[in-house]
Structure 1
Amino acid sequence: MNAATLKFALRNLRQGLAGFKIFLACIALGVTAIVGVDSLARALTDGLAAQGRTLLGADLVISRMHRPAEPHELALIQSKGRITEIISLRGMARAHQKAALVDLKIVDQSYPLLDAPVFDPALPLQKIMEEKDGVYGVAADAALFARLGAKVGDQIALGDTVVELRATLVNEPDRIGAGVTLGPRVIMNRAAFEKTGLLKPESLIRYAYRLLLDDPRDENLGAIDEALNSTLTAAGFELRGRGNVSPQLTRNIERFSQYLGLIGLTALIIGGLGVANAVMAYLDRRRKTMAIFKAIGASGSHVFQIAFIEVMMLAGLGTIIGLLLGASLPYLVAGLASGILPFPIAPHLYPDRLLLGALYGLLTSASFALPILGRAHDLPVAILFRDDSSQEQSKVRRRYVAMTILVSLALFALILFVARERQITLFVMIGISLAFLLLRGVGILIMKWARSVPHPQRTEWRLALGNIYRPGSITPALTLALGLGVTLLVAISATQNNLVQLVSSGLPTKAPSFFFVDIPARDLAAFDQFMKVKQPEARVSHVAMLRGRITEVKSMRAETVVAEDNARWVLDGDRGITFSTTVPEGSRVVEGTWWPADYSGPPLVSLEADIAKGLGLSLGDMIKVNVLGRTIEAKITNLRRVDWQSLGINFVLVFSPNTFKGAPVSYLATLTNENGVQSAASETQLLVDAAEAFPAISAIRVREALETVREMIDQLALAIRGVAGITILASILVLAGAVGASQRRRIRDAVILKTLGATKARLLSAFLAEFAIISLAASFFGLISGLLAAWALVAFTFKTAFTWPLGDPLITTIMAVFVAISLGLIGTWRVLEEKPARHLRAS
């Protein structure tokens, strides 16, 4: 390339963007999706980090299950700054013949260290919690008022005592830092809590000590964190700093953003088809100008370079538009979602995300433009003397094929290099590549079929079939764009349908109706007898449970272990653990052997197989778990496969029965109605009766938990469909571009046919038949491939049986056909309006 080449390219661009609007839109749309999703994810995680102190309610939180800090441990923590103690556990609130699971938060006089919660009425927290006429006050989430049918001023039962609802909890700044809750929040003081009778050695209680440093600088926080870690971790404490408010939430944001980013990348790749169509139309418009260049001595390489520079400059413009729109998305969401999200968004410009988006846009443009621009090299000068389209049949030289392959490989390598989950990304890219090849094959089959069928008598059908297989047909582009778009939408719809069914009707017929938590050992027999009286036909299963935290994996500290995403959560904090003489129901040993019922040797542990793989563990490896302040080293003696869908009681970690001999344990129980699902009214009554008879036992209604999960699936699906909508818009642009690229040929044919007596109605019928045949074939392929993609995702990722839904996918397919036909006809309307006389005079 030289200065003259660049000069010619710039001069050509002065003619404007005619014919390149769809080109720009396709690139801008894909880049917007990728940069927007990435930037929004970064803004969310940055918001967590920037407001970590507020969201955590401190600079550092030191917490432990079951046991409060010993005096010397408390003195050590207090020596580093101001502290407040927070106790949290589950309980059952009762009022008006109703009961509800609640999350109790017990605070002291020092709470809060930072931003105070907001209440309605706006009273000071200590005023709300004070004792009046022998009754303490509490503040609760609005959800609790709704579930119990209560109002401010009503009294509710908690454990063995009664408290007064004195305020609604409107905003709790430090809620995210406290972790996931299963019920509405109730805030009370220590004096009220001690009257509930819920403070027992076996209760699942977490003691958290929030530390606010006198010197909050990062380097000081790091030094104190390290000093306390070395002393307190061995005693069973877990430390979490303000920079790591919610590890699981951060990982979920990153993982979800990657999935959405892959959909955005799919939109960009589909948009590449629009690039190809626009470049084809560009060559069609500029072919005589290029022929003139060659006639006056320009080489084929020179002509190619001029065209390539023009196209890549326009690709750069489209990329810049996409970068601007994508970078603005976090600011837009921050403005619209202010006060809706439980944490602030911190939007910024992220140069690395912008650079990545620019590379995606330019590499995708080059990948799709090069093989078409390569035809300009051998464009014949003869087209100056006769009007034909023979250049479209010319073969592309090997050098341009090689350049296309190299650029495509560079794009593929870049996608894999920046991917967080390379295996999933690789599968997606292979899937897209296979879909491209298959849809290309479908397009070729459609063209061969149209060429081979007997010529129909009706002229309209002959014209339609001819348009399908003729050189320069829109069949390949329309098949690819529509097929990929329908595949994506059907896959999303079918996957959502299966996941919703999984948490509702797709569950086992005899799934538990309730989980009962924190059953004291001394009350277990009475609890069983109670259930026999209340639910004589129900089956009660229970198992001992403790809470423990994995501290070491194969002599490595848990926080230094590089685990796969599916297993990382096991190392994040305390986990439920148990012990058993036999293999738990719903599990099967897949590797190793179970210990004897009378085993009395060193501690052994059974691990769930997928978790073991994610942690890099195998038979014979050692792990350390801190339980009740005692560190236990156990040898992995077998691996289990767990059927989590049964909703039975099962644990990731199951120890040999002698491991926790003499330890204070509580029990977890399930209640399963052998005659099927109970009515909501009978479940509510049982909940109330159980809460009154056993105030210390918490009950979780499976029906409500599954409804919460279903709502979450619907919300996630809505977000995915939103991004997938960009892919559909890209498909629409590709369709418009394909019609535009064939516009000159269609006008020429229409002029000839009108001259021979064809009417608008007959031409419209021919176009309708053409678009209908291609759309039906491409959409049918998209329906089948989308269902197969959903099956693979559900069967191999979620590892559950797949139900073949037809309702939503069929509706999606029919709508796609209708939209494709409608847009095709709208795009060709100009052809029908052309007057033959003007073109005949020009010829």
Structure 2
Amino acid sequence: MAWRDAKASRMRLMLFMASIILGIAAVVSIQLFSQNLTDNIQRHSKSLMGADFTIDSDELPNPRAQAIIDSLKPDASEINFVSMVAFPKNDGTKLVRVRGLQGEFPFYGKLDTEPVAAAISYQALGGALVDATLMLQYNLQAGDSIKIGEITLPLAGALKAIPGNSAVATSVAPLVIIPFRFIEATELLQFGSRKEYRFFFKQPNTDLLRLEEKLQPMLEAENADFDTHTRTSSRLGKRYDNVGSFLNLTAFIALLLGCVGIASSVNIYIKEKIKAIAILKCLGASRKQSFLIFLIQIAGIGILGGIIGTAIGVGLQELFPIVLKEFLPFELTISITSQPLIIGVFLGLVMSVLFALLPLLRTWYVSPLDVLRVSGDTSKQSRKASYVAIAVIVLFLYAFSFWLLKDWLFALAFIVAIMLTFGILSGIAIATMKLVKAYFPKGAGFTTRQSLLNLFRPNNQTIVLLIAIGLGTFLISTLYFTKDILLDKAEIGQTSKSVNLITLDVQPDQVDEVANTFKANDLPVLDNIPLVTMRMHSIKNVLVNTLRTDTTAQVKSWLLNHEFRTTYRANLIDSEEIIAGEWVPNQKTDEIIQVSISDNLAEDANVSLGDSIVFNVQGVLMETVIKSIRKVDWANLQPNFTVLFPSGVLENAPQFYVLTTNAPTEASSAKLQRDLVSKFPNVSVIDLRQMFTVVEDILNKVSWIINFMAFFSILTGIIVLIGSVRTSKYQRIKESVLLRTLGAKNKQILTITALEYLFLGILGSLLGILLALVSSLLLAIFVFEQPFTPSLIPFLVFLPGISLLVLGIGLSNIREVLRSSPLEVLRKSG
């Protein structure tokens, strides 16, 4: 019976199936991708680092640290730092990360260069390897030259890839690799310069876990760090796990949207089958038999949908390496495993049956007397059975979310958020029907009244259409608004007083000359900020060395080895606000120094007003007490500080300077950078306009990926829309034929249908955009702490675009009625 009935309704059942196919495809593809990524990270763990383990320090290792390093016999080493470089060929300048390498690094993986031989020959020939993209930007070729500090080297070739580096990382500061022996000659490593010393080891047979347990505490005490290839791959895996969880949830939402379409379509489908079920019961069919007939149908289309969705998900695997190549530090190798395939078919079956369960329960309570009743649906469903079915659905959704997220609280929050969104959309749909019914415009024209009547007529699709349209619009609009928030957060004000050019590592004897260079280029010196480097020696009278070994200490580990760059001044700036204590502008050196710290430092160091911190200022211990805590707007792209000293204390300490200015045009910025690099090779220049371009580019890449996943939800919403409209097709045909029999013209029927679906399209997309507006506002206030100025794009593009799409789908449903004569259709329905 299930097979016979399914053959008669195959087109409608195919639409049910189509609703879940894309959701399953999205889930399966993400699951397969996550497994492939995990396998690839494990397989490439050594080539990600290029070595078995490393030791690094952001200062020249002291004798004790160097003794430990020498005892392990490093196979290669490097110094890396950020600096300006110049290209004499075209007078170009660029902020880059210079890596001075010695030894045959990498031991695993390879330096990918063009020409290939440059990866080996650059050391012997004394050349530089320059990031391939940078060479294209500046029209450079092998044989051209690069000026790094006080030396000029030939370009040995283009650097395409190196272990442990990604395209996103090099977009901020492209890589330049030179032989280690030239580092000293560059004269770039001045006092205060940010640098990192790294030592690479190739010891494949070493027990890395035992070695780490032994060396890590010893090296931490000497301000150095021990890292292994397994720990590096683990950190990378966790980072991608978070991305995978987000993509999984996006796919899951698409699947849920499809399931809502199934629930609605099956509801109407079962309503139309009530008389057939009543006849079966008159012929002796039991409740169980009538229930199983339709359950088998739904289970069958669920399994078939799962198989098709899984096949599509497998096919999508080829897309992910292309989509995510900018974010992967290695080439992804694709393989197919069985677990996601089983999950796909299982999801197709379970989700279809679960969401069809509520309408299917109606078959259980159909009475044989329904054959004689005029209304085709007088059955009363058991409340207890309905509540049990709803509880089973919610529990399964929570269990599946927990499996995806591996966190019970996040899973609960996700389910609550989904139910809240669905509830709001459903509530507004129900309220709309009630409002239209209560305040029906009886004086309106015939076509307007008929289109509004369709919103609350029997078998209406108002709720499911508003959910499908609203949720799809909500997802894509939220993405758009959130991207705007992030870009606004990084936006640089273009007033004459705003900083957009920062010069770093200016030595005391260079300050006046750098300032004169600014003036020679008709640019003002907006800030002249002294910087003093220091480390924490003790916190609340507990030595930092003790805190490193204390597993119960409530102090974040990053503080214990961090080199703080602090300043002193008598005033606060716009990005700072005192939230606790009292600001001390000036102080004498013979008093206990009263400092101000940022709120995030207070939290991470577990300190408050009145607590003491002893700083090691280049060998001199300086006792301080916390007098105030500041809230700092780190999004403000200007020099901000976690620790701020009053004037009168650090003036005689070894220091260097940061000077800032505003360059009104890119040309003036480029000219200043050329002048500074030629006169002061050790000075680095950060153009905040370029930084903003990098941030925008990264956000665009991320949003492209999210859009790619949101596409599944939107396309699923469209399929649900088509399915919902087509499900009520025969009901519509009968109504339209009756109207035509009573004298209605094709134009009037077309107008009635157009007005109904235009109203649903506008209302659904508007609801989605407004919900996205509210959620984005909450994100801006509570997460990003940023003013929110919504973009008009969703209102100008998404709203009319989706409304017209809904209108087109609705009108396509009425074509058959307009082409057929009333008698022909009435004979078929009879």
TM-score range, shorter chain: 0.7 to 0.9
1:411 aligns with 2:400: no
CA distance in 1, matches of 2:339, 2:205: 33
Any residues of structure 2 matched to 1:286-305 within 5 Å, and which?
A: 286-298=273-285, 300=287, 303-304=290-291
- Residue 355 (structure 2) aligns with: 368
2:661 aligned partner: 672
Contact (CA 8 Å) 2:54, 2:226: kept in 1 or not? yes
Q: What is the DSSP-based 3-state SS (H/G/I as helix, E as strand, rest coil) of the residue aligned with 1:213? A: coil
Q: Alignment partner for residue 157 of structure 1, among 142, 147, 166? A: 147
Matches within 5 A, 1:177-576: 182-215=172-205, 220-245=207-232, 250-298=237-285, 300=287, 303-304=290-291, 306-326=293-313, 329-330=316-317, 332-334=319-321, 341-348=328-335, 364-366=351-353, 368-385=355-372, 388-391=375-378, 394-395=380-381, 397-412=383-398, 414-416=400-402, 418-419=404-405, 429-451=415-437, 452-455=439-442, 458-504=445-491, 510-535=497-522, 537-546=524-533, 557=548
- Structure 2 segments unaligned to the other structure (5+ residues): none
Distance in 2 of aligned mates of 1:831 and 1:81 = 85
Post-superposition shift, 1:790? Answer: 2.0
Change (3 A) 1:233 1:598: same
Matched residue of 2:782: which SS? helix
Instruction: Name the amino acid aligned to 2:185.
Output: K
Counterparts of 2:205 and 2:621 in 1: how far apart (Å)? 33
Q: Distance in 1 between matches of 2:167 and 2:210?
A: 21
Q: Where do 1:132-147 residues align within 5 Å? A: 136-146=126-136
- 1:714 corresponding residue in structure 2: 700
Partner of residue 89 from structure 1, selected from 44, 62, 81: 81
Alpha-carbon distance in 1 for matches of 2:742, 2:821:
13
Amino acid in structure 1 at the alignment position of 2:671: Q
Deviations 1:363-399 (A, max 9, x none): 65455323222322322324434664334x8455332
| Distance (Å, rounded) in 1 between the aligned partners of 2:2 and 2:536 | 66
Q: Tell whether 2:627 aligns with 1:640.
A: no
Q: Which residue identity lines up with residue 588 of structure 1 in the other structure?
A: E
Please tell me whether the aligned partners of residues 166 and 326 of structure 2 are also in contact (alpha carbons under 8 angstroms).
no
Structure 1 residue 727 and structure 2 residue 713: aligned? Answer: yes
Aligned partner of 1:790 among 776, 781, 790 = 776
2:566 maps to 1:578: yes
Say which of 580, 588, 598 aligns to 2:577.
Answer: 588
1:245 is paired with a residue of what secondary structure?
helix
Counterparts of 1:731 and 1:178, CA distance in 2: 33
In 2, Cα distance between equivalents of 1:332 and 1:210: 35
**Equivalent in the alignment of 1:26:** 19
Bigger mean CA offset, 220-229 vs 635-644: 635-644
Alignment CA distance shift 1:407-1:381 (3 Å) = same
Q: Which residue of 2 aligns with 1:173?
A: 163
Q: CA 1:412 to 1:190, structure 2 compared with 1: closer, same or farther past 3 Å?
A: closer
C-alpha RMSD of matched pairs (Å): 4.1
Moved more, 334-343 or 227-236: 334-343
Contact (CA 8 Å) 2:597, 2:628: kept in 1 or not?
A: yes
Q: 1:384 to 1:580 in 2, by over 3 A?
A: same
| Shift in CA distance, 186/698, structure 1 to aligned 2, threshold 3 Å | same
Preserved contact between residue 544 and residue 666 of structure 1 (Cα < 8 Å): yes
Moved more, 707-716 or 425-434: 425-434
In 1, are the aligned partners of 2:502 and 2:661 still within 8 Å (CA)? Answer: no
Residue equivalent to 1:110: 104
Residue range with higher mean Cα deviation, 176-185 or 458-467: 176-185
1:76–1:606 Cα change, 3 Å = same
Q: Distance in 2 between matches of 1:786 and 1:178?
A: 29
Provide closer, same or farther for how the CA distance between residues 476 and 190 of structure 1 changes in structure 2, counting only shifts above 3 A: closer
Instruction: Please report how far the alpha carbon of residue 643 of structure 1 lies from its aligned counterpart in structure 2 after TM superposition.
Output: 1.1
Secondary structure of the structure 2 residue equivalent to 1:240: strand
Partner of 2:677: 691
2:78 maps to amino acid: I
- Partner Cα distance (1:444, 1:573) in 2: 59
CA displacement at 1:684 relative to structure 2: 0.7
Cα shift at 1:444? 2.3
1:120 equivalent to 2:110? Answer no
Aligned residue pairs total: 820
Report how far residue 701 of structure 1 moved.
0.8
Cα displacement (A) at 1:531: 3.6
Q: Name 1:4's counterpart in structure 2.
A: none
Residue of 820, 830, 833 corresponding to 2:806: 820
How far the C-alpha of 1:571 sits from its partner, in A, is: 7.2
1:259 Cα offset (Å): 2.9
State the partner residue of 1:3.
none
From 726, 746, 749, the counterpart of 1:760: 746
How far apart are 1:358 and its partner, in Å? 6.8
Task: Select between 478-487 and 196-205 the one with higher mean Cα deviation.
Answer: 196-205
Q: What is the alpha-carbon distance in structure 1 between the residues aligned to residue 806 and residue 602 of structure 2?
A: 49
Secondary structure of 1:175's partner? coil
Return the offset for 1:191: 2.7
SS in 2 for 1:369: helix
Match of 1:781 in 2: 767
CA distance in 2, matches of 1:618, 1:328: 56
Offset of residue 51 of structure 1:
0.9
Supply the distance in 2 between the matched residues of 1:247 and 1:639 (Cα, whole angstroms): 36
CA distance in 1: counterparts of 2:294 and 2:803, whole angstroms: 35
Return the match for 1:58 from 44, 51, 55: 51
Q: Compared with structure 1, are the counterparts of its residues 384 and 466 closer, same or farther at alpha carbon in structure 2 (3 Å cutoff)?
A: same
Q: 1:625 to 1:597 in 2, by over 3 A?
A: closer
Q: Secondary structure at the match of 2:764?
A: helix
What SS is found at the alignment partner of 2:75?
A: strand
Q: Counterparts of 2:602 and 2:503 in 1: how far apart (Å)?
A: 28
Partner Cα distance (2:284, 2:589) in 1: 92
Tell me the distance in 2 between the aligned counterparts of 1:527 and 1:142: 32
* SS of match in other structure, 1:232: helix
Structure 1 residues 158-216: Cα deviation after superposition (integer angstroms, max 9, x where no partner)? 21222222322233234359976742222111332221112335322211001111416
Deviates more, 1:428-437 or 1:568-577: 568-577
Identity %: 25
Cross-structure match for 2:641: 651
Q: Deviations over 1:27-51 (max 9, x none)?
A: 2322322342344244334433321
- Closer/same/farther in 2, CA of residues 480 and 190 from structure 1, 3 Å limit: closer
Q: Which amino acid aligns with 1:590?
A: I
Unaligned runs of 5+ in 1: 1-7
TM-score (norm 1): 0.85
